[in-house]
A = this chain, B = another copy of it.
Amino acid sequence: MNKTRQKNVSTLHDVAAAAGVSPSTVSRTLTRPDMVAEETRDKILKIVGQLHYLPDANARSLKLSKPAVIGAVIPKSGISAFSQTISSLNDALDLFDLTLIVSQPEADSQASRYAAYRLLEKGADALILLGEEHASELYRLLEYRNLPYLLISPINPPHESAHVSINHRKAGHIAAKHLIELGHKKFAYIGSSMRNNPRALERLAGVRDELQAYGLGLAKGAITNQPHRIDSGKIALKYILTNHPETTAIICTSDYYTLGVIRALHELQINVPSDISVVSFNNNDFASFTMPAITTVDLKYEEVGREAAIMIRKLINKEKVSPVIIEPELCIRETTTYPKIDI
């Protein structure tokens, strides 16, 4: 509306005029100082300071057309698991002089498609997308425009796509193996609704793999889905205890969820870990501070952000990239131990 917005902002021109030189020289002073005579440079720099001059980013990148802004589409996952990823991505990108803009749409392929469009309209030169389940139109646009992009934490990355993924299946293996080595035989799995969460599904698959390798299994009904709410841990737990009272070990899809399960266990006077062991995934900040401290498989979300920054930069520079797969790591704390009744 207000087009007469008088910006009290000096331009290259103003600086040039004040210094009695041409705009070209001011520009050079700022971008390649060694091409300018010291005397001229000093004079210009002084004026730059006096006038609080700052180059206009839009004009500069219009001229340079060098990719500078990275858009990230990170759909909301309820418990903001990826805020660490976003934060580390931002820091790492900043080191490369790249700017991050992020959009957190609802978890839905159409919503994330439009989120991506908006990011592109806002000037994103490259895209980082969470997961692989995106609208085919989006993939087509990306290919057509030849836009650098990569997938973060996909489970089945489309052929040839650049990606940095977390080995969720391995995370499942690790969690299950830990319990097996402790001597557990009867397991249950508690997760929130996994409809929209292929990552959680993959961890479950990993757990199954591992169990099977030892001739063990997850009884039917020993897998429970509940939306992530304050009492969902309790509901899930009651269900399992009713149907599978022999359970000595529970694998939980996330640390948040685990909190609810531990509470419920406590209310039922069931001791963790001596009666029932619990392992989970993520290793959130609070996991080591709780009581008991949570044994969990660290999914390395920060590392994902750092690696994604490195990879997107290579893509922008037209360098070859190979997929990066991040290996999760077990953090043994206080919610797991040997089963009580060892036959």
Residues of B with C-beta under 8 A to A269: none
A83 to chain B, nearest CB (A): 5
Contact of A102 with B90 in the complex, beta carbons under 8 Å: yes
Residue A314 CB within 8 A of the other chain: no
Residue A226 CB within 8 A of the other chain: no
Residue A5 CB within 8 A of the other chain: yes
Residue A62 CB within 8 A of the other chain: yes
Residues of B with C-beta under 8 A to A57: 121-123
Chain A, residues 100-138, CB within 8 Å of chain B (1/0): the string is: 111110000000000001101111000000000000000
Picked from B5, B56, B83, B289, the residue with its CB within 8 Å of the CB of A230 is B289
Contact of B104 with A90 in the complex, beta carbons under 8 Å: yes
Residue A271 CB within 8 A of the other chain: no
Residues of B with C-beta under 8 A to A274: none
Chain A, residues 68-83, CB within 8 Å of chain B (1/0): the string is: 1000000000011001
Number of chain copies forming the complex: 2
Contact of B7 with A52 in the complex, beta carbons under 8 Å: no
Within 8 A of B (CB), among A80-101: 80, 83, 87, 90-91, 94, 99-101
Contact of B52 with A144 in the complex, beta carbons under 8 Å: yes
- CA distance in complex: A288, B87 (Å): 25
Residue A266 CB within 8 A of the other chain: yes
Residues of B with C-beta under 8 A to A117: 54
Contact of A101 with B104 in the complex, beta carbons under 8 Å: no
Q: Which of the four size classes fits the interface of chain A?
A: 35 or more
Residues of B with C-beta under 8 A to A9: 145-146
Given the known A-B contacts A90-B102, A101-B99, A145-B8, are A62 and B65 also in contact in the complex, defined by CB atoms under 8 Å? no
Contact of B58 with A58 in the complex, beta carbons under 8 Å: yes
Residue A208 CB within 8 A of the other chain: no
Residues of B with C-beta under 8 A to A8: 144-146
Residue A2 CB within 8 A of the other chain: yes
Residues of B with C-beta under 8 A to A5: 65-66, 318
List 20 interface pairs A-B (beta carbons < 8 Å), by A numbering: A1-B317, A2-B317, A2-B318, A7-B145, A9-B145, A52-B140, A54-B120, A54-B145, A56-B123, A58-B123, A94-B118, A99-B122, A101-B101, A230-B289, A233-B289, A256-B286, A256-B289, A259-B290, A284-B286, A291-B291
